[in-house]
Amino acid sequence: MTVRRFAPQAALVAAAVLYGVTYAAVQGALETMTPMGFNVLRFALGTTVLLPVAVAWGWRGPEPRRSDTRRSFLAAGAALGIAAGIGYFTQNVGLQHTSTSNVAFITGLFAVFTPAFEAVLHRRPPRPEVIGAVALALGGMFLLTGARLTLNFGDAMALVAAASFGWWYVLMGETANRFDFVSLTAVQLGATALFSLPVALVTGFGTVTSKVVVAVVVTAVGSSALAVSLSTWAQRRVDASRASLINLLEPVVAAIIGYVIGERIGGWGVVGAALILVAILVAERGLARGGYRLPTVSPEAGGPLTPAGHDPGPDPGRAGVGEGDPPVPPPPA
């Protein structure tokens, strides 16, 4: 019973580690591959891995809307895939021009962008904690990128990636419970591959080496098919603030890997990275106190949260978590 209770948190931890360990592998592959060429191979393989399961399980999730159809399912997956495609493209370009650690920590600012997008979407001003978090994050980025008033190209691309992934979290919060998590992941991975293909055809794919093959397989299976499926499944049951906090393991793991392979960000860089982590924690503290959090599913009531992140309580016409609930598919092994 205890194992089942903490399975969603364990899934998020596993996903964050899988995301974090692949930064260095991608950076190595991009020595001979173009960013979009690598994305086409990675996400096409990830889609292929998930496709048999997606076809067998169907597209409906535990709480589909009455208006949901196969077309709306495909549209949701495409929107997620395009947001992810922009994020991964700019992140890969960033890895070509700056360090693994810089890209990882700056990309972690998605946790600050997400409530900002929520504020715009729902036409409510952000909480003071979120404003403070943005100020801390900007200070941390200033130190991490060399204490200069301009970003280098790689750091700027990582910042665009953070914004793209922040929007991806907003979209995921709207769709994770409506559609099957494996099928939704398969469609969005396929959409990302198709989104990347036209640019890859123009810029070229680069040269496929043994290092590239390893990176493609690891990222396609580990940080795409498996990690995204785990994240989607877990975010049905773990509220957005807790999920984001667990995902802070991603830049930490990436920084550790970067240190192992010889990257050093210096004393002020360490302070800057710490400030970015503090900024993310401050933002999430604001969300946990009732600010803007991604729409998700309450672990207690099993019902959808309002856009502001407050649980409206159990629906009298719906069974709560317990014997009346439909069976929940386990996370993929």
In a domain, 259, yes or no: yes
The confidence score (pLDDT) of residue 330 equals: 43
| pTM given for the model | 0.74
The total number of residues written for the chain in this structure: 333
In a domain, 119, yes or no: no
In a domain, 89, yes or no: yes
In a domain, 240, yes or no: yes
Domain ranges, residue 94:
2-60+69-108+153-265
Tens-digit pLDDT profile for residues 258-269: 777 676 667 777
Tens-digit pLDDT profile for residues 177-192: 899 999 999 999 999 9
In a domain, 131, yes or no: no
Distance CA 46, CA 224 (A): 6
CB atoms within 10 A of CB 193: 25
The total number of structural domains that make up the chain: 1
Q: Which pair of tokens denotes residue 80?
A: 């997620």
In a domain, 6, yes or no: yes
Tens-digit pLDDT profile for residues 31-60: 999 999 999 999 999 999 999 999 999 998
The amino acid at residue 95 is L
Q: Which pair of tokens denotes residue 222?
A: 């580990």
Higher pLDDT: 260 or 217? It is: 217
